[in-house]
Amino acid sequence: MKQKSVSLKSLLYILVGNLGLALALDCFFTGNAIAAGGFGGVGVIVNALVPSLSVGFVVFVISIPVFIWSYFVQGWAYTLSALLSTVAFSGLADLLAFLPNLTENRLLAAICGGALYGVAGAILVRGYVAGSGTDLLARLLVTKFRHVSLGTFVFLCDAVVVLASVFAFGDIESGIYAGGAIAVCSFTMDKVIHGFNKAVVFEIITPDAETADKLSGIIMEKLDRGVTMIPAVGMYQRRERNMLMVAVSPKQIYEVKDLIHDHAPGSFAVMLHANEVIGEGFKGLDVTVPVKDVEK
């Protein structure tokens, strides 16, 4: 893949995304001793043990060997993006360290901080920004251990940080809250990237064309959903069939089932869950960055 320099648009994503990460760290995690994975979590642990070492400083220092490795493996353009992201995160984390801890309720801190982490992470993904911290480390480890998935390495890196926090703080609850924050972060990031516009797709194989026309007309009239008819062949008897495909909201599932039962009882239907539906009746075009582009 041809390497490109970091654009002004990417710099904006880096700034906004890392601002969110820094706010989550300073307003929810550091003051509550929650090391929610990543190099930021390492910074929280070290800062708690040695207050003179700021979180941002620790994050940057431990990232230096990873940057050197990344330069030889991923090249200068990818490493530059990761370096800028880390500098922004480290600088903002220290610059905003004066902000007060917004809550001393550690459960609430884990939920709010994890959600903010997730939104910020989604912004970085949306901006084609290279991963940094343990994310970058995991991507580099994959190049050496190709039989292990990226997700597994990210999980292992975060798990090590969480376990280290338990021993460092001498408090198992710290690890539990950190794990909860990571879970909330993953859930939020997934929802922001893939969308909340979930739907259900029905593929209905009707016995004849007349039934297909009748059922599709009723679905369009009563549910106000578009229906697509696809010619098909039943391979068991080599008979021509018609397959209707329709996407509906989750709350319309039982309505579709009832319509099939009442108006096309001889049909064969398959219900599929869709993470997101784009188009009329659902929402406009989504320009979320494909994961494969971020991987590159």
**What total number of domains does the chain contain?**
2
Specify the pLDDT at position 280.
65
Specify the pLDDT at position 281.
64
Q: What is the pTM of this model?
A: 0.70
Is 296 domain-assigned? no
Q: How far apart are CA 268 and CA 138, in angstroms?
A: 45
Cα 211 to chain centroid distance, Å, stands at: 42
CA-angle at 83, arms to 60 and 72, nearest 5°: 110
CA-angle at 11, arms to 9 and 17, nearest 5°: 105
Last residue of a domain, one of 194, 215, 246: 194
Print the domain residue range for 218. Answer: 199-274
In this structure, the answer to whether residues 209 and 145 fall within a common structural domain is no
Specify the pLDDT at position 131.
66
In this structure, the answer to whether residues 88 and 184 fall within a common structural domain is yes
In this structure, the answer to whether residues 266 and 130 fall within a common structural domain is no
In this structure, the answer to whether residues 137 and 222 fall within a common structural domain is no
In this structure, the answer to whether residues 46 and 81 fall within a common structural domain is yes
Specify the pLDDT at position 233.
84
In this structure, the answer to whether residues 243 and 186 fall within a common structural domain is no
The most distant pair of C-alpha atoms in the chain lies apart, rounded to whole Å, by 78
Is 240 domain-assigned? yes
In this structure, the answer to whether residues 153 and 245 fall within a common structural domain is no
DSSP-assigned states of every residue in 109-127: HHHHHHHHHHHHHHHHHHT
CATH number at residue 221: 3.30.70.120
Is 293 domain-assigned? no
Q: How far apart are CA 195 and CA 199, in angstroms?
A: 11
Ranges of residues in the chain with a pLDDT under 50 are 1-4, 284-296
